[in-house]
């Protein structure tokens, strides 16, 4: 092959080695693309490193706003938690990376794109399905899936070509970070019986070390989108960063799961997602106040479908558009404020209010302000219980002894 390839470049060992490897094995000029999705890094240093190890060009794109507004907040409105536990931080960033790879490939007139994912994970699927959807003509090269090198061999390769091996390699974990969360894999975590060591965590204090007095936070939502913390309006990026600090300092947001990967592997995953877990909880409690019982129940089914779809790399699909439209519609009255208590690893909703609240004090109270007509209950029970009574009489439902 000849021409250019756009490589999604993190600055880590694998993608640095990939720059050299793509040149040697495919004879391609490498344009390194680094995407800022809120993973705090020195992007100038990453750019310099890409050029130093042989890229012809290094591009950094700040996509934090885009990531928050088009990926994170819609997933929050959807209540998206894969298998009920994982807020999908890594998964949500992949279609964005796919899209930007395509955009830059077009600008550069590249014939191919490339990424550093291995052949065992979900990320290769998410990126490649996205690229194929948007630009089926582009060739996709996945060096780490092709080269078959062990960690040691990769390091040796790097040393041979004078590619700096980061000191952070002493970290025994494989880590992916963005605004919505931090995913931690490998090392001792691969034994599902072993409790994650404290050094696996970076964003959350150990609940043992967390303050002895609880923290309180109020989150304002407008149609399912958070816009204020403690009455102070702020943009999404800042809001997530602020909340992440706050909740993390109280040890909130640690997740330890055994997860079903799309490629058929069960894997042990550790996540830190302080802001995500607080926002998801706050959002759900506001919905409990502003949606009907039936809307809530239907939305829970949609949430499962939506989370699976994101996890499985199907972002650029019509089904996604359909689900997103349904979710948007459900958020019309999800406006209000939620108050939460953060204390030693726990996050608890302690208050909620909304101008569209369906909670009626008059209906709920047992005090003198009661407006509920208790005498109407008798007729309701008569009719509600009719089929129950009928069946019990005819078929004897409810006998305790075995027939
Ligand atoms: N299991 C998670 C997922 O599939 C996290 C993946 C982490 N990726 C990584 N490159 N470390 O979304």
What CATH number should be reported for the domain holding residue 100?
Answer: 3.40.50.620
Question: Does residue 159 lie in a domain region?
Answer: yes
Could you tell me if residue 226 is inside a domain?
yes
Ligand 1 pocket test: which of 93, 185, 200 has the largest number of ligand atoms within 8 Å of its C-beta?
185
SS3 119: coil
Residues of the chain with pLDDT under 70: 167-170, 402-403
Distance of CA 51 from the midpoint of ligand 1 (Å): 27
Span between the terminal Cα atoms of the chain, in Å: 76
In a domain, 123, yes or no: yes
Residue 141 and residue 276 in one domain: no
Cβ(244) – ligand 1 distance below 6 Å: no
**Quick one: pLDDT at residue 2?**
79
Q: How far is the CA of 347 from the centre of ligand 1 (A)?
A: 25
Q: Within this chain, do residues 266 and 339 fall inside the same structural domain, yes or no?
A: yes
Ligand 1 centre distance from Cα of residue 117 (Å): 10
Answer yes or no: is the C-beta of 174 below 6 A from any ligand 1 atom: yes
Question: What CATH number did the domain enclosing 227 receive?
Answer: 3.90.1260.10
**252 and 199 inside one domain:** yes
Q: Looking at the structure, do residues 244 and 276 belong to the same domain, yes or no?
A: yes
Asked, for residue 117, whether it belongs to a domain, the answer is: yes
Give 235's contacts (C-beta < 8 A, 6+ positions apart): 65
Q: What is the pLDDT of residue 165?
A: 82
Whether 13 maps to a domain, the answer reads: yes
> 290 with 335: CB under 8 angstroms?
yes
Q: For residue range 116-149, what is the model confidence (pLDDT) as tens digits? A: 999 999 999 999 999 999 999 999 999 999 999 9
Same domain, 16 and 134: yes
Instruction: Look at the block and give the residue holding tokens 């000191």.
Output: 167
Mutation to probe ligand 1, out of 86, 176, 177, 265 (largest number of atoms < 8 A from CB): 176
In a domain, 394, yes or no: no
Please tell me the residue having the least CA distance from ligand 1 atom 10: 176
3-class DSSP assignment, residue 292: coil
Range of the domain at 40: 4-81+90-176
pLDDT number for residue 402: 63
Is residue 367 in a domain? no
Instruction: Tell how far the Cα of 97 is from the centroid of ligand 1, in angstroms.
Output: 14
Pocket test for ligand 1, best of 12, 87, 122, 267 (most atoms within 8 A of CB): 122
The verdict on 274 and 318 lying in the same domain is yes
Is the CB of residue 183 below 6 angstroms from any atom belonging to ligand 1? yes
Residues 332 and 188 in one domain: yes
In this prediction, residue 169 carries a pLDDT of 58
Determine whether the shortest distance from the Cβ of 272 to ligand 1 is under 6 A: no
The pLDDT value given to residue 41: 87
What is the residue whose two structure tokens read 């690229």?
131
Which residue numbers are catalytic? 14, 94, 123, 174
Looking at the structure, do residues 122 and 108 belong to the same domain, yes or no? yes
Determine if ligand 1 sits within 6 Å of the CB of residue 90.
yes
Same domain, 216 and 159: no
Question: How far is ligand 1, taken at its centre, from the CA of residue 172, in Å?
Answer: 15
Is residue 191 located within the same domain as residue 338?
Answer: yes
Burial code of 95-123, b = ≥16 C-beta within 10 A, e = fewer? bbbbbbbbebbeebebbbbbbbbeeebbb
Residue 123 CA, ligand 1 centroid: distance in Å: 7
In the chain, how many domains are there?
A: 2
Contact 284 CB / ligand 1 (< 6 Å): no
Atom index in ligand 1 nearest the CA of residue 184 equals 11
Nearest CA to ligand 1 atom 8: 176
Question: Do residues 148 and 250 share a domain?
Answer: no
For the Cβ of 176 lying below 6 angstroms from any atom of ligand 1, the answer is: yes
Would 377 be classed as within a structural domain? no
Ligand 1 contact via 122 beta carbon (within 6 Å): yes
In 41-142, at which residue ranges do the beta strands (DSSP E only) sit? Answer: 57-62, 112-114, 139-141
* Cα–Cα–Cα angle for 292, 295, 298, rounded to 5 degrees: 150
Nearest-atom number in ligand 1 for the CA of 117 is 10
The confidence score (pLDDT) of residue 170 equals 58
Residue where a domain stops, chosen among 119, 144, 176 = 176
**Do residues 134 and 76 share a domain?**
yes
| 149, 176, 203 - which closes a domain | 176
Instruction: Confirm if 356 and 335 have CB atoms less than 8 A apart.
Output: yes
Final residue in a domain of this structure, among 336, 353, 370: 353
Cβ of 14 less than 6 Å from ligand 1: no
C-alpha 37 to ligand 1 mean position (Å): 15
């Amino acid at each position: 092959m000849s021409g250019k390839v756009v490589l999604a470049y993190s600055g880590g060992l694998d993608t640095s080695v990939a720059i050299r490897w793509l040149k040697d094995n495919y004879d391609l000029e490498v344009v390194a693309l680094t995407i800022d999705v809120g993973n705090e890094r020195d992007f100038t240093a990453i750019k310099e490193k890409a050029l130093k190890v042989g890229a012809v060009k290094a591009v950094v794109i700040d996509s934090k706003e885009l990531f928050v507004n088009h990926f994170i907040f819609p997933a929050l409105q959807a209540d998206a938690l894969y298998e009920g536990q994982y807020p999908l931080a890594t998964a949500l960033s992949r279609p964005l990376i796919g899209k930007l790879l395509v955009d830059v490939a077009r600008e550069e007139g590249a014939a191919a794109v490339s990424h550093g994912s291995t052949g065992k994970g979900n990320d290769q699927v998410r990126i490649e399905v996205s690229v194929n959807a948007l630009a089926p003509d582009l060739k996709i090269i996945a060096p780490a899936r092709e080269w078959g090198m062990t960690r040691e061999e990769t390091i040796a390769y790097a040393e041979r070509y004078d590619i700096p091996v980061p000191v952070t390699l002493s970290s025994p974990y494989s880590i992916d970070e963005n605004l919505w969360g931090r995913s931690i894999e490998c090392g001792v975590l691969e034994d599902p019986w072993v409790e994650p060591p404290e050094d696996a965590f970076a964003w959350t204090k150990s609940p043992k070390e967390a303050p002895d007095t609880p923290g309180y936070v109020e989150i304002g939502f407008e149609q399912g989108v958070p816009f204020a913390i403690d009455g102070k309006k702020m943009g999404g990026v800042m809001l997530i960063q602020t909340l992440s600090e706050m909740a993390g300092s109280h040890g909130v947001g640690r997740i330890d799961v055994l997860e079903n990967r799309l490629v058929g592997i069960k894997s042990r995953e550790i996540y830190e997602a302080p802001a995500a877990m607080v926002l998801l909880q706050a959002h759900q409690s506001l919905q409990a106040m502003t949606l009907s019982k039936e809307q809530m129940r239907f939305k829970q089914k949609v949430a499962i479908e939506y989370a699976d779809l994101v996890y499985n790399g199907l972002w650029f699909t019509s089904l996604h558009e359909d689900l997103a439209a349904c979710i948007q519609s459900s958020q019309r009255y999800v406006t209000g404020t939620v108050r939460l208590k953060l204390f030693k690893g726990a996050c608890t909703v302690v208050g909620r209010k909304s101008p569209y609240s369906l909670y009626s004090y008059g209906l709920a109270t047992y005090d003198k302000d009661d407006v509920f007509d208790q005498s109407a209950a008798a007729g309701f029970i008569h009719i509600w219980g009719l089929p129950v009574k009928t069946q019990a009489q005819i078929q004897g439902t409810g006998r305790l002894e075995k027939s």
